[in-house]
């Protein structure tokens, strides 16, 4: 599979699945070896750490006794703070690996062509880019996030007229593309954050040489399709625990019986199992979005398209017949 080449709308989607067909076994093996334990710990701590909190909240609401929940919160502040701190640290570690892993994996694969990438190689790449990742995260939080809030805030103000709704539809995939292009360019080159951000924005509207048709709509369209596909699958998985929760909430107890807390009992176990699966699935699906964005990024790097063409010309006649 050639990475640095021009692709059309359909090729972005088909080549995303082709990537996982050719490299999925090696890709997810390394991903789970590096990130699997952290993901499981995050889900387990989140579920068991907050289960009692959710149970108290649901129980007080169904019984109309909110003061019980307030008393529980006051009595367990230290526990909730500790659990929240652990979840935050694990979430940060999982986010770092989940967001940088697909970028660094595709970078190594596109540069070496080796489909049998070792876990140690990816770990080495992750360690080398730890500082850059935290700088990237700071830039994302203090530069990109405020800009996104302003843009969507203006769109929200315009929601009362039709243009606001249309802007929301237009901006969603476009903003996602800019952020993903920013990460790919930041880790594929030695550029600083703002230089990579500048390229990420410009690449949405024109190729590097500026002489080809704008790629905006094919980037926007393919991202919208992939995002809708993943959200549909995620919603189906998340739909099961939601149905379980609502079924218990709206079950009318028999005469003389006290309504049971919806987050206690056998159904609660099923609820949290499916909830944990949905969390794991959402992190895994991030890989699909990033691989898709990576193919878009390689499409935009027309400067490297020419370099690969020259390499292929140079290798003509060097293969044994």
251 CB neighbour count, 10 Å cutoff: 11
Q: How far apart are CA 98 and CA 125, in angstroms?
A: 14
Is pLDDT at 110 greater than 70 in this prediction?
Answer: yes
What is the value of pTM for the model shown? 0.81
pLDDT digits (tens, 9 = 90+) for 76-101: 677 777 777 887 888 888 888 888 99
Contact between 136 and 127 under an 8 Å Cβ cutoff? The reply is: no
User: Is residue 253 pLDDT above 70, yes or no?
Assistant: no
Residue 68's pLDDT is 56
For the record, the structure tokens of 241 come out as 């625990």
Could you tell me the two tokens for 212?
A: 């080809």
Tokens of 103: 């970028």
Instruction: Compute the mean pLDDT over every residue in the chain, rounded to the nearest whole number.
Output: 81
Query: pLDDT value at position 73?
Result: 64
Give me the residue spans of the domains in the chain.
Answer: 9-315
Q: Is 261:62 a contact under the CB 8 Å cutoff?
A: yes
pLDDT at 122: 94
Confidence of residue 52 (pLDDT cuts 50, 70, 90): low
More confident call, 119 vs 164: 119
Using alpha carbons, select from 285, 91, 103 the residue that is nearest to residue 180. Answer: 103
């Amino acid at each position: 599979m050639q990475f640095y080449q021009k692709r059309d709308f359909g090729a972005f989607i088909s080549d995303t699945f082709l990537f996982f067909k050719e490299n999925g076994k090696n890709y997810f093996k390394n991903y789970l070896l590096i990130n699997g334990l952290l993901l499981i710990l995050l889900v387990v701590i989140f579920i068991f750490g907050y289960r009692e909190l959710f149970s108290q909240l649901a129980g007080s609401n169904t019984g109309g006794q909110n003061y019980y929940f307030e008393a529980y919160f006051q009595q367990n502040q230290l526990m909730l703070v500790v659990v929240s701190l652990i979840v935050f640290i694990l979430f940060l570690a999982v986010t770092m690996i989940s967001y940088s892993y697909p970028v660094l994996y595709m970078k190594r694969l596109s540069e070496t062509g080796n489909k049998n990438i070792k876990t140690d190689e990816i770990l080495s790449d992750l360690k080398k880019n730890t500082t850059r990742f935290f700088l990237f995260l700071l830039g994302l939080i203090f530069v990109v996030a405020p800009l996104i809030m302003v843009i969507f805030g203006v769109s929200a103000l315009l929601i009362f007229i039709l243009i606001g709704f249309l802007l929301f539809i237009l901006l969603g995939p476009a903003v996602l593309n800019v952020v993903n292009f920013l990460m790919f360019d930041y880790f594929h080159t030695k550029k600083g954050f703002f230089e990579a951000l500048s390229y990420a924005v410009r690449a949405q509207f024109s190729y590097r040489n500026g002489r080809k048709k704008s790629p905006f709509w094919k980037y926007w369209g393919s991202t919208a399709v992939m995002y809708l596909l993943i959200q549909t699958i995620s919603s189906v998985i998340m739909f099961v625990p939601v149905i379980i929760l609502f079924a218990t909430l709206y079950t009318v107890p028999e005469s003389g019986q006290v309504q049971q807390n919806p987050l206690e009992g056998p159904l609660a176990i099923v609820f949290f199992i499916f909830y944990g699966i949905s969390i794991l699935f959402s992190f895994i699906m991030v890989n699909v979005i990033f691989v898709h964005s990576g193919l878009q990024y390689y499409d935009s790097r027309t400067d490297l398209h020419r370099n690969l063409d020259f390499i292929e010309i140079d290798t003509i006649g060097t293969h044994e017949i």
